């Protein structure tokens, strides 16, 4: 029993370590977001906003920047404390930017199916940034991505189960401190 607990615990820690730049980028876009929307208020052919007011230039840039800083700190920590699993610079960038790109693509399709900004799309709202981070990392650093994700399905599964839980908890917290308009 104890060995199972240790295995699950270490897998969760490893999953969080591998996903850290994305896990930082996403909420920091909420913290630092606001201001000019990325779509500049423009509408798509369907008459709806392209992305909506929830996707801003500041959120995208500062969220990505925070993710990259956290990844660079990981690379530093890995060398200082002899941690063997370390992100590449490329992965740090693609995990951070990919997370927010995934969120943005999600909003584009949300607007197309007529969901107004802030409306909840269960699971998709929680996993959009994981998909973006993974796809972009797979494209730009397939070796690192294969080594750390594709070759360990338990990590993939852990991220898919853990992320919606962490996302929910973070958003309830963000909502309670009035940082976010909706608790999702
Ligand atoms: N945010 C931002 N820029 C981004 C992403 C998020 O400024 N690139 C900020 C916005 O203030 C946004 C909030 O974080 O309202 C919450 O993000 P999210 O839940 O992703 O957006 P929603 O407002 O719910 O919009 P959507 O329906 O498009 O998901
Ligand atoms: Mg939302």
- DSSP string computed for 100-121: HHHHHHHHHHHHHTTPPTT---
Mutate to test the pocket of ligand 1, among 52, 54, 111, 128 (most ligand atoms within 8 A of CB): 54
**Cα-to-centroid distance, 183 and ligand 1 (Å):** 12
Atom 28 of ligand 1: nearest residue by CA position: 107
Which residues surround ligand 1 with Cβ inside 6 Å? 29-30, 33-34, 52, 54-56, 59-60, 100, 103, 107, 110, 117-119, 180
Other CB atoms closer than 10 Å to residue 143's CB: what's the count? Answer: 10
Give the torsion through C-alpha atoms of 153, 157, 159, 160, to 10 deg: 140
What pTM was computed for the model?
0.96
Contacts of 136 (CB under 8 A, 6+ apart): 94, 95, 97, 98, 101
List per-residue pLDDT tens for the chain, 184 residues long: 999 999 999 999 999 999 999 999 999 999 999 999 999 999 999 999 999 999 999 999 999 999 999 999 999 999 999 999 999 999 999 999 999 999 999 999 999 999 999 999 999 999 999 999 999 999 999 999 999 999 999 999 999 999 999 999 999 999 999 888 888 8
Q: Facing residues of 37 across strands?
A: 56
């Amino acid at each position: 029993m104890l060995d199972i607990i240790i295995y699950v615990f270490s897998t969760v820690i490893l999953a969080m370590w591998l996903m850290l730049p994305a896990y930082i980028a996403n909420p920091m876009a909420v913290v630092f977001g606001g201001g000019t929307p990325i779509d500049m208020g423009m509408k798509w052919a369907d008459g709806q906003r392209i992305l909506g007011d929830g996707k801003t230039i500041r959120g995208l840039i500062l969220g990505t920047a925070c993710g990259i800083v956290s990844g660079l700190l990981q690379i530093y920590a890995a060398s200082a404390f002899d941690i063997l699993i370390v992100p590449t610079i490329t992965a740090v960038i693609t995990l951070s930017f990919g997370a927010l790109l995934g969120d943005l693509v999600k909003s584009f399709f949300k607007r197309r199916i007529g969901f107004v900004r802030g409306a909840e799309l269960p699971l998709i709202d929680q996993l959009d940034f994981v998909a973006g981070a993974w796809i972009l990392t797979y494209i730009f650093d397939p070796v690192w991505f294969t080594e750390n994700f594709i070759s360990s399905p338990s990590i993939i599964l852990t991220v898919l189960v853990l992320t919606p839980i962490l996302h929910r908890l973070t958003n309830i917290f963000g909502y309670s401190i009035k940082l976010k308009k909706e608790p999702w």
